[in-house]
């Protein structure tokens, strides 16, 4: 069914694209910009992440695990919230610009290529750091002990242990970040724009909203699909590599990097990463607290709408993902796994375009804005949900499948008494992720929404467009609280009273 | 009567043949060298492994194509016999109704079964709060409630100490003397066989041999069994 949804919309896109008017110069510019910003974002994110990950791998300090947990937060952080934070720090009237102006210098200019890349690095530096840090942690502790025994200095450790690990891990991290940045929409919508800073996703939106040129939107969607498909597939292939060998899980102690210089360098990296993450969020929160008092009824209505959309989307996701996870776990079909991964290749705007084309002849797509948003959000969250659910589902099947069979529990009783209770923690985590992602999504809703309807992220964007930055910050803070709150409640709910 | 008619069982590149009959109500031990296919044999009877050839009958009914839960078989595995998130009463109650919608009389039945195995006052506990022996008793209470004609034991008490294991085997013997079930028990310890089994199926060299009287077989073991017993 998911495959039908994705493939159906793709067929619709392909059919419409035939009627398109060809690939104009502005479309080529969009393609070039898309590739360029994705390349830069991936290079910068991963390059910086190597330094941060190395420092985190070498050092033990208080708050380290908290910082590593914090690195996971941008994944569920609503894009629009982060952008407001980045504007508050790096924008024309932001903190850094104010300091520059104080010293008689020009304020920063955030809109355009560097703004887009900055935002992408903000989102993907933490992700890349986690991926690379994992590589470091997979080097068995015994190897470091051996290196210390051989009196290997930093250069030797780099050559013996770290460089080979990075050669294995970095291509995967690059590919993942590149693929993510290819289908970036909300960042380009807010910080890009104009002929020189338009991604293909944004061009789809513009073809849609401004020109209502469905043929062109469909053609661009087809191009985008080709790009993300190839990049997503490459990322999966590269990221799927074998380990460096196993150790006995000894507690890791490092004997290298004890010089003053190394300590200062590592401290610098960690400080940089922390500030880079924390500053924009604090700036947004500071601006938001005063803005909270300016919130109008429209914002509260939008907030309620977002909560409803997120709830429906989460429910849809579970209805889709749980049977899929169960089917994959019992090995009934690898096709299903592929269907889940399709969600990675298709971008929200591409599916949105396809759905629009499908719905348009029969009904008013604008009237269906919210259900479509909930559905697309659910499909987008599906690959992540499956990654969370499938391993646990396999475990449950392996451990309890035969006992349940011998007790003739197949079907309903198995689901109710075994599968769901055993999967609770994972279901909570996946649901929390889906709710937060849906809550913060500023994608397909922009295609379908008429002025009467808005989710909270869209309302924030509209307030920004009207230059009511303080109200926007207030609404963004509300959005942040709702998204993080939804994640926290669902994730906690899953683990509440859960026995081993 | 349980009849395995020219059965060929395949289990991951390994195959076992069996052509034998077991009288209803008999208690049998399945012994043989490790890796010979003892578990393979009872998993095929339970329906977890398909037969590549041959048929399986119980009292004339053909079980060959039936799903595990549809066979007149209750089985205890080496481990994982209880659901850790369900209470003792719920775990036992699964033997009556897989959906756990138990009527009042059925709930009383569960309570009786728990009392029968000596766990009357632990009905509301979770398995993790029980000792290994108590966990085995819960599984036996469920077997009691299942009232299936055939009981298969795949070394469920292997992790218990010798005294506790004997206690459990005696409890099994008591329970089946009440229910009249046919028991097939995998064991690698001939003393277990002597303790509760009237007959022994020797599994060796890719073949499950027809049952023989326990004492006779163990007193005069054939060469392959002798090598195993040492």
For A368-382, what is each residue's pLDDT tens digit? 888 888 988 888 888
- Residues B83, A412: C-beta atoms closer than 8 Å: no
CATH of domain A14-285: 1.10.3720.10
Of B47, B68, B99, the CB nearest to A412: B99
Question: What digits encode the pLDDT tens for the residues A62-88?
Answer: 888 888 888 888 888 899 998 888 888
Torsion angle defined by CA atoms of residues A379, A384, A388 and A390, in that order, rounded to the nearest 10 degrees: 60
pLDDT at A117 over 50: yes
- Same CATH topology for A14-285 and A295-500: the answer is yes
Reported as a pLDDT band with limits 50, 70 and 90, residue A360 is confident
Q: Which of B85, B130, B142, B148 to mutate to test the interface with A (most CBs of A within 10 A)?
A: B85
CA gyration radius, chain B = 18
Q: How many CA atoms lie within 13 A of B224 on its CB side?
A: 13
- Token pair for A368: 């269906």
Inter-residue contact B32 to B204 (CB < 8 Å): yes
Q: Do A410 and B67 touch (CB under 8 A)?
A: yes
Residue B12: its pLDDT value, please? 79
Q: What number is the average pLDDT over the span B198-215? A: 91
CA distance B84 to chain A (A): 8
Say what the pTM is: 0.79
Question: Does B129 reach chain A within 8 Å, measured CB to CB?
Answer: no
A406 in reach of chain B (CB within 8 A): yes
User: What mean pLDDT is predicted for residues A103-131?
Assistant: 86
Inter-chain CB proximity A500 and B84 less than 8 Å: yes
Q: What is the pLDDT of residues B20-37, one digit of tens each?
A: 999 999 999 999 888 888
Q: Tell me the pairing of strands B51-58 and B2-11.
A: antiparallel
- Give A406→chain B minimum CA distance, Å: 5
Band of the pLDDT at B103, cuts 50, 70, 90?
very high
Judge: B98–A413 Cβ closer than 8 Å, yes or no: yes
The answer to whether residue A19 scores a pLDDT higher than 60 is: no
Confidence of residue B7 (pLDDT cuts 50, 70, 90): very high
* Average pLDDT value for residue range A447-475: 86
Q: Residue A420: closest CA among chain B residues belongs to which residue?
A: B85
Reply yes or no on whether the pLDDT at A466 is more than 70. Answer: yes
Q: Least CA distance to B78: which residue of chain A?
A: A403
Per-residue confidence band for A242, with pLDDT thresholds at 50, 70 and 90 = very low
| C-alpha dihedral, A210 to A211 to A212 to A213, nearest 10° | -140
To test the contact with chain B by mutation, choose from A403, A412, A423, A426 the residue with the greatest count of B C-beta atoms within 10 A, namely: A403
Of A400, A414, A421, the CB nearest to B80: A400
Residue with tokens 């949804």: A5
Q: Which fold has domain A295-500?
A: MetI-like fold (1.10.3720)
Q: Residue A403: its chain B contacts at CB < 8 A?
A: 77, 80-81, 83
**pLDDT tens sequence across B41-77:** 999 999 888 899 999 999 989 999 888 888 899 999 8
**What are the backbone dihedrals phi and psi of residue B136, each rounded to the nearest 5 degrees, phi first?**
-60, -35
Residue B224's pLDDT is what? 83
Q: Provide the pLDDT confidence category of residue B199 given band limits of 50, 70 and 90.
A: very high
pLDDT one-digit tens code per residue, A180-214:
888 888 888 888 877 778 888 888 888 888 887 77
Quote the CA–CA distance of A247 and B132 in Å, as a whole number. 32
How confident is the model at residue A497, as a pLDDT?
57
Q: Which residue of A has its CA nearest to B75?
A: A406
Determine contact: B101 vs chain A, CB below 8 A: no
Chain A hits for B95, Cβ within 8 Å: 407
Q: pLDDT tens digits for A394-414?
A: 888 888 888 888 888 878 888
Query: A133-142, A264-273, A433-442, B189-198: lowest mean pLDDT where?
Result: A133-142
Q: In the predicted model, what is the mean pLDDT of chain A?
A: 82
Task: Give the whole-number percent of chain A exceeding pLDDT 70.
Answer: 88
Q: What is the dihedral of CA A141, A143, A144, A146, to 10 degrees?
A: 130
Question: For residue B84, what pLDDT band results from cuts at 50, 70 and 90?
Answer: confident
Domain chopping of chain A, boundaries: 14-285, 295-500
Range of A371-385, A483-497, B123-137 with top mean pLDDT? B123-137
């Amino acid at each position: 069914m998911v495959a039908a949804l994705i493939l159906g919309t793709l067929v619709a896109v392909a059919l419409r694209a035939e009627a398109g008017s060809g690939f104009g110069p502005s479309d080529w510019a969009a393609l070039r910009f898309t590739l360029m910003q994705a390349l830069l974002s991936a290079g910068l994110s991963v390059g910086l992440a190597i330094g941060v990950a190395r420092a985190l791998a070498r050092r033990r300090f208080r708050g380290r695990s908290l910082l590593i947990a914090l690195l996971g937060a941008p994944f569920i952080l609503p894009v629009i919230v982060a952008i407001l934070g980045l504007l508050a720090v790096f924008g024309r009237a932001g903190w850094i610009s104010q300091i520059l102006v104080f010293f008689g210098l020009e304020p920063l200019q955030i809109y355009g290529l560097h703004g887009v890349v900055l935002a992408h690095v903000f989102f993907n530096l933490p992700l890349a750091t986690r991926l690379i840090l994992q590589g470091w942690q997979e080097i068995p502790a015994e190897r470091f002990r051996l290196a210390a025994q051989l009196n290997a200095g930093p250069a030797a450790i780099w050559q013996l242990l770290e460089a080979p690990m990075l050669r294995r891990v970095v291509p995967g991290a690059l590919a993942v970040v590149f693929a993510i940045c290819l289908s970036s929409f909300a960042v380009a919508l807010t910080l890009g724009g104009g002929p020189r800073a338009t991604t293909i996703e944004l061009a789809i939106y513009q073809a849609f909203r401004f020109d209502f040129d469905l043929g062109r939107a469909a053609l661009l969607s087809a191009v985008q699909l080709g790009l993300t498909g190839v990049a997503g597939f490459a990322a999966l292939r590269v990221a799927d590599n074998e380990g460096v060998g196993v150790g006995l899980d000894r507690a890791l102690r490092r004997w290298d990097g004890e010089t003053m210089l190394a300590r200062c360098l590592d401290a610098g990296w960690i400080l940089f990463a922390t500030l880079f993450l924390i500053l924009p969020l604090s700036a947004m929160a500071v601006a938001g607290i005063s803005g909270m008092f300016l919130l109008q009824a429209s914002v509260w209505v939008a907030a309620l709408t977002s909560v409803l959309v997120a709830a429906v989307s989460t429910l849809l996701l579970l209805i889709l993902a749980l049977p899929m996870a169960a089917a994959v776990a019992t090995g009934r079909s690898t096709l299903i796994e592929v269907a889940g991964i399709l969600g990675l290749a298709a971008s929200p705007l591409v599916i949105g375009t396809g759905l629009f084309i499908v719905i348009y002849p029969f009904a008013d797509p604008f009237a269906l804005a919210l259900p479509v948003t909930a559905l697309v959000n659910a499909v987008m969250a599906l690959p992540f949900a499956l990654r969370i659910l499938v391993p646990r589902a396999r475990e449950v099947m392996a451990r309890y499948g035969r006992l349940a069979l011998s007790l003739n529990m197949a079907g309903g009783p198995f689901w109710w008494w075994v599968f769901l209770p055993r999967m609770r923690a994972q279901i909570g985590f996946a649901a929390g992720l889906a709710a937060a992602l849906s809550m913060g999504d500023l994608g397909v809703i922009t295609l379908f929404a008429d002025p009467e309807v808005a989710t909270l992220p869209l309302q924030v964007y509209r307030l920004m467009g009207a230059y009511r930055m303080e109200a926007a910050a207030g609404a963004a803070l509300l959005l942040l609280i709702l998204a993080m709150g939804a994640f926290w409640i669902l994730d906690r709910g899953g683990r509440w009273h859960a026995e081993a | 009567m349980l009849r395995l008619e020219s059965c060929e069982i395949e289990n991951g590149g390994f195959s076992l043949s069996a052509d034998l009959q077991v009288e209803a109500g008999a208690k049998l031990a399945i012994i043989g060298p490790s890796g010979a296919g003892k578990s393979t044999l009872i998993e095929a009877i339970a329906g977890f492994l398909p037969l590549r050839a041959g048929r399986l009958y119980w009292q004339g009914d053909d079980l060959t194509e039936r799903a595990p839960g549809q066979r007149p078989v209750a089985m205890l595995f080496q481990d994982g016999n209880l659901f850790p998130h369900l209470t003792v009463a719920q775990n036992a109650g699964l033997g009556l109704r897989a959906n756990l919608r138990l009527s009042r009389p059925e709930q009383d039945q569960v309570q009786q079964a728990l009392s029968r195995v000596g766990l009357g006052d632990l009905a509301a506990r979770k398995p993790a709060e029980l000792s290994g022996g108590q966990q085995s008793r819960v599984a036996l209470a469920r077997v009691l409630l299942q009232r299936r004609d055939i009981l298969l034991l795949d070394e469920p008490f292997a992790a218990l100490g010798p005294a506790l294991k004997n206690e459990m085997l005696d409890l099994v013997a008591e329970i089946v003397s009440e229910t009249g079930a046919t028991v097939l028990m995998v064991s690698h310890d001939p003393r277990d066989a002597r303790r509760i089994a009237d007959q022994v199926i020797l599994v060796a060299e890719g073949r499950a041999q027809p049952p023989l009287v326990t004492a006779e077989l163990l007193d005069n073991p054939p060469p392959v069994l002798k090598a195993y017993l040492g």
